[in-house]
Chains A and B, each alone.
Chain A
């Protein structure tokens, strides 16, 4: 029961934070900077949380709840498909390559940092 409550709380604030950041950054230019930012930050911080071996309540709140909801896979893919449909091929490839490459490198960096601390 405790876990469910903590995941809900994390999910609530994770979704709101993503929404706020996306609104702020997304329309400054037409490149999907908002989603890229939340996904990069979230991948690094989740890597850090796993590296630090966070468990139990704290992991439910921060890892499963907040970071899970803060980052998003579906919006990333939708934005990529839209860039492709608009004929912005270079942005399409750079968005996909950047998101996946950057996300994996950042998750790994967070993981290494967490293990070292």
Chain B
């Protein structure tokens, strides 16, 4: 049954990714993959936040957490599209843009996972104080 929930999460994550990438192409065109970049960085932040938030939590069923993290966020973000887009930028001679895309994804991803974790820890502290 857990597999089914992860699959449902995968449907939600994939559709959200598709929707945002279509909007991004409408708004900014195809010269730079801003859609995938936004999707991957926002997903990294959310995953950092949610995994820290639910550590040791018994209020939410563990299946729901896995469906949300592995299912929704795991499928929302994508590594294959990122890799192919990087190759396409480099191959078409846009070397600087390709490297920019690579490093903003890499460094930004690390920073945003950490930011998500930090924010989750902070909100836990605030909740204790209030």
Question: Which residue numbers of A lie inside 8 Å of B, CB to CB?
Answer: 4, 7-8, 10-16, 18-20, 22, 39, 42-43, 45-47, 50, 64-65, 67-78, 80-81, 96, 99-100, 103-104, 106-108, 111
Distance in angstroms between the alpha carbons of A45 and B4 in the assembled complex:
24
Choose among B18, B70, B76, B82 the residue that contacts A18 (Cβ–Cβ < 8 A).
Answer: B70
Distance in angstroms between the alpha carbons of A74 and B73 in the assembled complex:
7
User: In the complex, what residues of B have CB within 8 A of residue A47's CB?
Assistant: 83-84, 87
Of A7, A20, A67, A68, most buried by chain B (CB within 10 Å of CB) is: A68
Q: Are A74 and B87 in contact (CB under 8 A)?
A: no
Q: How many B residues have CB within 8 A of the partner chain?
A: 48
Distance in angstroms between the alpha carbons of A16 and B10 in the assembled complex:
8
Q: Are B14 and A64 in contact (CB under 8 A)?
A: yes
Q: Are A13 and B47 in contact (CB under 8 A)?
A: no
Instruction: Give the Cβ gap from A104 to chain B, nearest Cβ, in Å.
Output: 5
